[in-house]
Amino acid sequence: MSNENRNRRGGKPRGKGPRQKKRGRPVSGWVILDKPFGMGSTEAVAKIKWLFNAEKAGHAGTLDPLASGMLPIALGEATKTVPFVMDGIKVYRFTVSWGEERSTDDLEGEVTDRSDKRPTREEVEAILPDYRGVIMQVPPQFSAIKIDGERAYNVARGGDEVEIPAREVEIDQLEIIDMDEAAGTTVLEVECGKGTYVRSLARDMGRQLGCFGHISELRRVEVAPFVEDDLVTLDELEAARGEGDKAVEAVVAEDDAARERGEEPAERPRVDRFAALDKLLIETAAALEDLPHVALNDDAASRVRLGNSVIIRGRDAPTEADEAFVTNRGRLVALGVIAAGQFQPKRVFTHS
């Protein structure tokens, strides 16, 4: 990722009806959360939405509670770019514990098979080529796959076995990072495409080696186009929010003290409670960096914001593209297509 991309951080009730909930701020951008072990993805999104007081939030790819690491969370209009991150290459670092297979293929489930056999490094190395490239994989029993309209994990929790068909997944790299033969564990790193279940890899390798296996530790370290350097922890986010809260409280206290003295509060610039927090955001357009991009002048950008097509100018400008985005003065304006030298907007951004 370029240095340029690494520096990209940067309501009243209406009518007479019941009081309406506040909508929050129209803040947009990406929070690349280093999700802690034990926290669910939905819980993480709710926490980030609250911290930023955002109107809207969503994540780009569920991460199990027993997994840690990268959970890209989109705020505001960045939610329009979620599909581009969902489709991105992902990198996981995981530990397989040999000798036991479990119902969930991780530490959460009950032991279903045991073996006294423990593989050597050479034995594990020998089977890795079978799991690289395009392979057929059966998702875990406890997964979000829908079978006859119902989530597989709901059926499995009821005690029934789910018949889940194998499906095609793509694994670009799979390598051993560390091996402790005495402890019966192997640390691996996998680079894979959308829909790959790392828990299934541990299960299938254990069966092939004749020793069984399950995931005992799982961490997602990359979701393209984001990398480890983009990660921010909950502690960092909470500290930034706390910094803003204290600044606001200090101003309120000063104003109250002035009133108690019979004085008018001093005039000062408005204190932004979210200034420190917003600096930890990554710009919305970062999710689109693999798409063709064209910078528009002010007049063309205004036309696009109204939903109109514009002629793309410039010697290096693309003439055809199924997906592209345009900016104006460094700000994302729209997603769309380029056909016959014209940009046709499909999604327009107002707070990017």
| Mean pLDDT value across the chain | 89
Could you say which of 64, 105, 106, 204 is catalytic? 64
- Residue 11: is its pLDDT beyond 50? no
Q: What is the dihedral of CA 51, 52, 54, 57, to 10 degrees?
A: -70
Is 90-223 in CATH node 3.30.70.100?
Answer: no
- Residue 7: is its pLDDT beyond 90? no
pLDDT in tens, 258-308: 889 998 888 888 889 999 999 999 999 999 999 999 999 999 999 999 999
Q: What is the reported pLDDT for 153?
A: 59
178 annotated active-site: no
Strand blocks (E) in 181-244: 185-192, 213-223
Which structure tokens are listed for 277? 């927090």
Share of the chain above pLDDT 70, in %: 88
Please spell the DSSP secondary structure of 41-85, one letter per residue. Answer: HHHHHHHHHHHHTBS-EEESS---TTEEEEEEEEEGGGGGGHHHH
pLDDT in tens, 51-96: 999 999 999 988 988 899 999 999 999 999 999 999 999 999 999 9
Share of the chain above pLDDT 90, in %: 72
- Residue 124: is its pLDDT beyond 80? yes
Q: What is the reported pLDDT for 255?
A: 87
Q: pTM here?
A: 0.86
What are residue 265's phi and psi, to 5 degrees?
A: -55, 145
Please name which of 4, 58, 64, 53 lies closest in space to residue 26, comparing C-alpha atoms.
Answer: 53
C-alpha span between 322 and 336 (Å, rounded) = 8
Amino acid at 304: V
**Mean pLDDT along residues 199-205:** 97
- Residue 6: is its pLDDT beyond 50? no
Q: Give the lowest-confidence range in 107-121, 172-186, 187-201, 262-276.
A: 262-276
| Gyration radius from the chain CA atoms | 25
What stretch(es) of the chain map to CATH 3.30.2350.10? 90-223
What are residue 20's phi and psi, to 5 degrees?
A: -95, 150
What stretch(es) of the chain map to CATH 2.30.130.10? 291-348
User: Tell me, which fold does domain 291-348 have in CATH?
Assistant: 2.30.130
